[in-house]
């Protein structure tokens, strides 16, 4: 799998040949190929500056048959779920977690799932946003693959690790991850691609069973938006650097906004 913040698809297609991308079974392009399932969320144009926020996912048919697209930013096959996310730098940490949870609710606890993208949460520098994100994802059984010292963004005033890959699933084995700073895929030095090699040990599931499966939990986003006092209290704890207290309040808010999904009974 290759995760790449391309800053626009046209910019890479003008300098990278199609053959250079064919070796990857899964492609996640943020801020934005023939022979792959694809789903695309176009970038949005703000009042000023260039368009931003687009995400594209490509999956080889060898991974499995596509059975679901959700909000045009993630794709589910009968063997794997892949989500590509882009969160703007100013996005509130609660919104980041809510976005990730909205993807997770379409999967069963043991389903192989990859969530990759530009989270704009720095891994290379200790901070509250990233600590809250990591702990929330670990609570859901995810592992963060990135190493803090392997930078994913390079600029004249410094570098950082903000393009992250989370994985979950007993049958999904991650073998290696590397940032391609020297290859045919790195003519754009500012945002090199992050390549993760993995193996799915399970056989492809029956499509009907996948369609009938339901997530164990669903988040009521309206209830979160209405919890003004709780959100203000969380922000106050974060401002005062009370990370443990903030995490406890976030957990309580998410728990109170979560409903148990009903399982469909099999027909006799």
Query: Is a pLDDT exceeding 70 seen at residue 50?
Result: no
pLDDT at position 259, please?
Answer: 65
Tokens of 1: 């799998």
**Please, which residues bridge with residue 75 across strands?**
69, 82
d(CA 191, CA 4): 7
Q: Give the model's pLDDT for residue 230.
A: 86
pLDDT at residue 140, rounded to an integer: 92
Pairing of the two strands 81-86 and 113-118: parallel
Distances in whole angstroms, Cα of residue 79 to Cα of each of 37, 66, 124, 201, 219: 14, 9, 32, 10, 24
Phi, psi at 149, each rounded to 5°: -80, -10
Asked whether the predicted pLDDT for residue 35 surpasses 50, the reply is yes
The answer to pTM > 0.85 is no
Share of the chain above pLDDT 70, in %: 68
Mean pLDDT, to the nearest integer, of 6-32?
A: 67
- Mean residue pLDDT of the chain comes to 76
What percentage of the chain carries pLDDT values higher than 90?
20
Rounded CA separation 179/70 (Å) = 28
pLDDT at residue number 126: 86
pLDDT at residue 6 in the model: 66
Which of 76-85, 147-156, 162-171 comes out lowest in average pLDDT? 76-85
- pLDDT tens digits for 86-143? 888 889 999 899 888 888 888 888 888 999 989 999 999 989 999 999 999 999 999 9
What is the per-residue pLDDT for 188?
53
Tens of pLDDT, residue by residue over 192-220, are 889 999 988 764 444 434 444 444 566 77
Q: Would you place residue 70 in the very low, low, confident or very high pLDDT band (cuts 50, 70, 90)?
A: low
């Amino acid at each position: 799998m290759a995760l790449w913040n391309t800053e626009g698809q046209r910019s890479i297609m003008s300098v990278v040949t199609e053959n250079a991308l064919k070796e990857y079974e899964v492609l996640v392009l943020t801020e934005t190929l023939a022979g792959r399932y694809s789903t695309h969320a176009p970038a949005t144009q703000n009042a000023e500056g260039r368009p931003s926020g687009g995400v594209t996912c490509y999956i080889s048919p060898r991974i499995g048959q596509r059975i679901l697209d959700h909000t045009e930013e993630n794709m589910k096959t009968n063997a794997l779920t892949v989500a590509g996310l882009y969160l703007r730098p100013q996005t509130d940490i609660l919104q980041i977690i809510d976005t990730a949870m909205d993807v997770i609710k379409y999967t069963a606890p043991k389903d192989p799932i990859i969530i990759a993208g530009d989270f704009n949460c720095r891994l290379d520098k200790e901070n509250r946003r990233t600590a809250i994100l990591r702990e929330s994802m670990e609570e859901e059984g995810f592992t963060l693959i990135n190493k803090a010292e392997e930078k994913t963004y390079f600029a004249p005033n410094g570098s950082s690790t903000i393009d992250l890959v989370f994985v979950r699933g007993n049958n999904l084995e991650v073998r290696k991850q590397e940032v391609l700073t020297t290859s045919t895929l790195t003519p754009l030095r500012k945002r090199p691609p992050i390549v993760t090699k993995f193996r799915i040990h399970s056989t492809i599931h029956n499509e009907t069973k996948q369609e009938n499966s339901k997530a164990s939990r669903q988040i009521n986003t309206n209830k979160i938006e209405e919890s003004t006092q709780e959100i203000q209290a969380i922000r106050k704890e974060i401002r005062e650097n009370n990370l443990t207290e903030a995490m406890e309040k976030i957990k309580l808010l998410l728990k109170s906004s979560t409903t148990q999904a009903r399982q469909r009974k099999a027909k006799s």
